[in-house]
Structure 1
Amino acid sequence: MSRNLAVDALRLLLAAMVVGLHAHALSEVSDLAGQLMWNGLFRLAVPGFFVLNGWFLHEAAQRPGGGGRWLRRIAGIYLAWSAIYACFWIGTEPLDLARAVEIAGRALFGWGHLWYLAAAAPAGALLLALRGVPGRGLAALGAALFLAGWGVQLAFLFRPPSLAGGWADVSTFWITRNALTVGLPFMALGWAARAGGWERAIPGRVLALVLAGGLAAMAAESVLTLGRFGPAGSLDLLLGLAAAAPAAALLALRSSRRAASGRIAEVATMVYLVHVPVVLWAKHGLGLSPTGAFLAALVVTAALALPLSALARRLRIPV
């Protein structure tokens, strides 16, 4: 069965952004360059994936049992790869109450890049439960949840120093990386877009302008944050994402160009799943700069993607 070439290419681009995000690409060039990538452009990646997820979940839900199969697949991928990465998030430290709570939190919200999968499954379950709500209602609910998460992030940014922790500690609490403040909002947009045929209803030129405006807003918010707080912490929620992520997805979904196979999507999936240890090896093993580690990890993971995907299928590891 043929696939949408533009959507698969977008998936690969978003996966590459995730690699750049975790490598902190360009951060050695200047604080501004690093900020514009790490807390700017590359933040498009996960919301973009979520929008596509919502779109295809709606499509799956139109078939008998399709929504349930989608949920089981996402949950299976999360559980399998959480087990593969267990040595990273369980560790070898003595187990006490605080440590047990930390491990439980990581299992629930996802370790590292796996938080995306941990958020996608419950967000998808919520969308299926709310399938009777009109698309605009779901989009409004998603917008409210996204703004609530952004407000929490803003509150942490401006909290008094006496409330401790640094801004970099925010991600530890998984406040802005979960199903409610990120997963559901962007998946709801994808779901509503599929239900309403937005990719055809909205002209491509308008979508391109919305994408450009969203990216510009993301860059502005990133620069303002740098000027106020310096190069610290993760800006998971940028207001411009609400425009840029759906616009990028809808532009790809408009395309009529087809791919004969799913190899590009396979590469994108494996780059996303296996890049973290490769980035760590490139930075700490080879001593490469952040940008060098980004490029090295991208090349290595892309080159190994298809063999690793075949091995995963042979071992019955969900991907």
Structure 2
Amino acid sequence: MKRNITLDYLKIIMSLLVVIIHSPIFWESSRLFSHMIVNGICRIAVPCFFVLNGLYLKKVLENNIAFRKYIKRLFIFYIVWMLIYAPFYLFHFKDSMPVSILMNISSILFGFWHLWYIIALIGGVILLYFLKQKNISDKQLFKIALFLFIIGWLVQKVELFYPDEEGLIGGLIRSSFPSRNFLFMGFPFVAIGYLISKKGFMEGLKKSFSKLYILILCFLFLFSEALLHFYVIGRRGFDFYIILIVLCPALILFLSNKSKIIEVEDDFISKLSAAIYFIHPLVLYMMKDIFLKVQNTERYILIIFFSVVFGSALIYANKRLKIFF
């Protein structure tokens, strides 16, 4: 089997960055430094995953049968992982039955914790397929992707102006559901990944944004945004940084130009990134009460170790079951 091994290893790195978001490192030594990692560089991970998914959609979008199989497969993954994590969100909220039901409905519709990624990918691919069926040009597709991403960025940035809002409105402002979804994050990055894979009007952009100096400038801009958020709001990071719509495609373009396609025995490396992503919250839950006195950075190392061990076992189990990823 032929694989782009550089992009496969990139997926591993992105998975490790996602784990850092859920288990911050260096928090005990420097909150600013930890913030710049957790809510700076780590925020490139999920958008990069969406772009990488988009890179391999061309054949799927051109064939109705392939498209239906692809979406069905994603739905199976979503149902399986939602069932695995059901004990952690099913009526977990004790305030009242109506609140518990409402929270469960939102978890099912938008995905529990990290599983929002699958439902956002499903919605993003379906929307992309629908637009392609309507013969939307690549140029128009690019404009729609940029427009929706900017809307999502604006929606999430409302918290900058109302950081202490109380009640239902405050809950919605601080919630990820209105912005971090298939429409504002899944579709834009998937669409750009798809456009990168094609030859067309983006050729000039692809050459320009695959330069090292562009990549460095993008990272500097990202750190500037993260630093601004730290001093303005000081509490948490955001999924949306305006530079991500440039940085993530630029990073993948840069690495693609330096990458090698080699013959490998299987796709273990690619699957390992997915295994780490999906299983690490389970490991985190398991470790929460066992390693109470372990510091954040040490806990992160343990989470990665057990995620790799359990994830590897899951990969081999998936060879027969084919339901996990």
Fold-level similarity (TM above 0.5): yes
Alignment of 1:149-168 (within 5 A): 149-159=152-162, 161-163=164-166
The root-mean-square deviation of aligned C-alpha atoms, in Å, is: 2.4
Amino acid at match of 1:28: E
Contact 1:39 1:235 in 2 (8 A): yes
Q: Distance in 1 between matches of 2:297 and 2:169?
A: 25
Q: 1:233 to 1:175 in 2, by over 3 A?
A: farther
Q: Distance in 2 between matches of 1:19 and 1:168?
A: 25
Count of residue pairs brought into register by the alignment: 318
- Deviation of the 1:96 alpha carbon: 2.5
Q: Which runs of 5 or more structure 1 residues have no equivalent in the other structure?
A: none
Contact 1:7 1:252 in 2 (8 A): yes
Aligned to 2:193: 190
Please tell me whether residue 277 in structure 1 is matched to residue 278 in structure 2. Answer: no
The match for 1:301 among 304, 307, 315 is 307
- Deviation of the 1:241 alpha carbon: 0.7
Q: Distance in 2 between matches of 1:309 and 1:138?
A: 36
Q: Distance in 2 between matches of 1:302 and 1:144?
A: 38
TM-score (norm: length of structure 1): 0.91
Contact 2:226 2:237 in 1 (8 A): no
- Deviation of the 1:224 alpha carbon: 0.7
The match for 1:256 among 257, 260, 263 is 260
Please tell me whether residue 224 in structure 1 is matched to residue 228 in structure 2. Answer: yes
Aligned to 2:127: 126
Amino acid at match of 1:215: F
Amino acid at match of 1:78: Y
Q: Distance in 2 between matches of 1:109 and 1:299?
A: 29
Cα deviation 1:111-133 (Å, max 9, x = unaligned)? 11101111100110000011121
Q: 1:280 to 1:84 in 2, by over 3 A?
A: closer
Cα deviation 1:198-257 (Å, max 9, x = unaligned)? 589734884433322222111111101111121x13311011111111112223333233
- Deviation of the 1:89 alpha carbon: 1.4
Q: Distance in 2 between matches of 1:168 and 1:37?
A: 26
Q: Distance in 2 between matches of 1:32 and 1:93?
A: 32
Contact 2:158 2:173 in 1 (8 A): no
Q: Distance in 2 between matches of 1:249 and 1:70?
A: 23
Aligned to 1:54: 54
Aligned to 1:40: 40
Q: Distance in 2 between matches of 1:31 and 1:167?
A: 25
Alignment of 1:1-319 (within 5 A): 1-63=1-63, 65-92=65-92, 96-131=97-132, 132-159=135-162, 161-163=164-166, 170-196=173-199, 202-203=206-207, 206-230=210-234, 232-254=235-257, 255-260=259-264, 261-287=266-292, 288-319=294-325
Q: Distance in 2 between matches of 1:257 and 1:188?
A: 23
- Deviation of the 1:166 alpha carbon: 10
Q: 1:139 to 1:279 in 2, by over 3 A?
A: same
Contact 1:170 1:233 in 2 (8 A): no
Q: Distance in 2 between matches of 1:64 and 1:93?
A: 41
Q: Distance in 2 between matches of 1:284 and 1:32?
A: 27
Q: Distance in 2 between matches of 1:205 and 1:140?
A: 17
Cα deviation 1:233-291 (Å, max 9, x = unaligned)? 33110111111111122233332332512110111111111001212334542132222
Q: Which runs of 5 or more structure 2 residues have no equivalent in the other structure?
A: none
Q: Distance in 1 between matches of 2:165 and 2:205?
A: 51
- Deviation of the 1:307 alpha carbon: 1.6
